[in-house]
């Protein structure tokens, strides 16, 4: 008799994921079966961890939080 491995919604590799973003423009990859934590919203992209990582790589071009980007822009003048 073989045992089937049971995966929960927190298992990271091999499961379906979704991409989240917060108000500071920071991205996160999250298990698709879990509700986004407070302060985060779904961007509408879901898939494998590799697919979600590719989306984040293509869209998160400036790693600085938005508040820091604004502060740096204000001090540049």
- Report yes or no on 53 lying in a domain: yes
Task: Enter the pTM of the model.
Answer: 0.74
How many residues can be counted in the chain?
77
Each residue's pLDDT tens digit, 56-74:
999 999 888 888 888 888 8
- Report yes or no on 43 lying in a domain: yes
| C-alpha span between 12 and 67 (Å, rounded) | 30
- Report yes or no on 39 lying in a domain: yes
Q: Which residue has the higher pLDDT, 65 or 46?
A: 46
Q: What is the pLDDT of residue 1?
A: 42
- Report yes or no on 23 lying in a domain: yes
Beta bridge partners of 46: 18
Degrees (nearest 5) of the Cα angle 22, 41, 26? Answer: 25
- Report yes or no on 7 lying in a domain: no
Q: What is the pLDDT of residue 4?
A: 44
- Report yes or no on 41 lying in a domain: yes
CATH code of the domain covering residue 59: 3.90.820.10
Positive or negative torsion for Cα 41, 46, 50, 51: negative
**Structural domain tally of the chain?**
1
Beta bridge partners of 41: 21
What integer is the mean pLDDT of 29-55? 94
């Amino acid at each position: 008799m073989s045992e089937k491995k049971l995966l929960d919604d927190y298992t990271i590799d091999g499961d379906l994921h979704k991409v989240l973003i917060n108000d500071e423009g920071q991205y996160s990859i999250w298990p698709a079966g879990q509700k986004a934590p407070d302060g985060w919203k779904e961007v509408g992209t879901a898939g494998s961890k590799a697919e979600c990582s590719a989306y984040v790589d293509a869209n998160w071009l400036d790693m600085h939080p938005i508040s820091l980007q604004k502060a740096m822009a204000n001090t540049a003048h």
